[in-house]
Amino acid sequence: MSPKTRESALTALAIALLILGVVTAPAATMPQIDPLSKECIGCHDGAAGPNVEVNLRNDPAGRGSHVHSFDGEHPIGMIYQSYVDMKPGYKPISAEERNMIMVNGAVGCLTCHDPLNPAKGHLIKSDKNSALCLTCHDK
């Protein structure tokens, strides 16, 4: 049997076993909350500070990735470059945006927020005319 035929046969066998449920595909790794975001969430629990719902997400191939509100709903944990590579509407972060902190390439609280900024929302820069959002999103 040629190596190409063998590879095709093994692929077909693996697909058949998955379909029959004999074996399962490994589950996607659940995104983790980075240590800096854990600090934020520790206070934003509704008691010490306003409650923020954690929306862990890292599925650039998934279809349900739109956020309908920014009242504590923006996802964290997403490996940003994988979204740039796989989904329309995401832009590469320019070198000028060094103040956008991404721990291990993942979006977290400090990607958009600066806890030392006393202004409402503690944003890293003004969002006038959606300037902050348009740093990453096309629209």
The span from the CA of 111 to the CA of 124, in Å, is 8
Q: What is the pLDDT of residues 5-61, one digit of tens each?
A: 766 766 666 666 657 665 555 555 567 889 999 999 888 888 888 888 888 888 887
Distance (Å, rounded) from C-alpha 85 to C-alpha 91?
9
∠ CA(28), CA(138), CA(133), 5° rounding?
A: 85
pLDDT digits (tens, 9 = 90+) for 54-94: 888 888 877 655 555 555 567 899 999 998 998 888 888 87
- For 3, phi then psi, to 5°, come to -60, -35
Quote the CA–CA distance of 32 and 89 in Å, as a whole number.
Answer: 24
Sign of the Cα torsion 54, 48, 50, 124 reads: negative
